[in-house]
Chains A and B, each alone.
Chain A
Amino acid sequence: VQLVQSGADVKRPGASVKVACKASGYAFTGNFIHWVRQAPGQGLEWMGWMNPNSGGTIYSKKFEGRVTLTRDKSTTTAYMELTRLTSDDTAVYFCARGSGDFPPFGHWGQGTLVVVSS
């Protein structure tokens, strides 16, 4: 199992960012993909999950309205888009999956640093 994420990005406040998570080594539609972020020097914060089979999603209340999780089954890639960025969104964003649909997360992407700065 491998989850390989897109590279670091720098965005202006108010912009949007879309992070990719390329999955390989397993049946892409067989496990939910979760997204977790970590601000500099801070802890882990769950953002939501996406069912790659149906496209169904559940979002953390904190991010509802600003985050959208999608997928492309043809390229086995999951995406996390976050809109209306502020400096508080500067963080490393991880995709993760478990052995089933839910935690524990035994597989993680390497993380993608998103910096929001004017």
Chain B
Amino acid sequence: SYVLTQPPSVSVAPGHTAWMTCGGDKIGSNSVHWYQQKPGQAPVLVVHDDDDRPSGIPERFSGSNSGNTATLIINGVEAEDEAVYYCQVWDSSGDPVLFGGGTKLTVL
């Protein structure tokens, strides 16, 4: 079955850029969605369909997807961005809704 691989943790200083990856076989041919989850809260959609932002999500959030890697990019990271980020795709080969294991973003 399809597997999405995310690094467990990423650290970045405030004001710098954070890149969080999501690896999967030919993931570039899938649409990838990204969720932010803070402790004790439900996930929030921050990027959908690789690189679109829902209304209300700051412009510093963006995404890319090509080959075997999708990436969530946060430009000018702020303290409030500290959270766990999950990628998600539609998988036609197994369970249709698949999440990555999540990356904890620490703002130094």
B94 and A61 contact, CB distance less than 8 A: yes
Size bin of chain B's contact surface: 20 to 34
Q: Does B23 contact A (CB under 8 A)?
A: no
A44 and B99 form a contact (CB under 8 A): yes
Q: How far is the CA of A110 from the CA of B44 in the complex (A)?
A: 11
Central interface residue in B33, B37, B43, B101, by most chain A CB within 10 Å: B43
Given A43-B101, A44-B102, A46-B95, A103 contacting B88 (CB threshold 8 A): yes
A108: chain B residues at CB < 8 Å are 42-44
Bound-state Cα–Cα, A58 to B102, Å: 24
Q: How far is the CB of A108 from chain B (nearest CB, A)?
A: 4
A43 touches B42 (CB 8 A): no
For chain A, give the interface size range. 20 to 34
Set of chain A residues within 8 Å of B108, measured between Cβ atoms:
none
A45 to chain B: which residues have CB within 8 Å?
A: 99
Q: In the bound complex, what is the Cα–Cα distance between A62 and B96 (angstroms)? A: 12
Q: How far is the CA of A60 from the CA of B97 in the complex (A)?
A: 9
A94 within 8 A of B: yes
Looking across the interface, which residue of chain B has its beta carbon closest to that of A49? B97
* Residues of B bordering A, CB below 8 Å: 33, 35, 37, 42-45, 48-49, 54, 86, 88, 90, 94-102
Since A104-B45, A104-B49, A111-B42 are in contact, a sample of 14 more A-B pairs with Cβ atoms closer than 8 Å, ordered by chain A residue number, is: A43-B86, A43-B99, A44-B43, A44-B102, A46-B97, A49-B97, A94-B42, A102-B97, A103-B33, A103-B90, A103-B97, A104-B33, A106-B45, A108-B44
Chain A positions within 8 Å of B, measured between CB atoms, are: 34, 36, 43-46, 49, 58, 60-62, 94, 102-106, 108-111
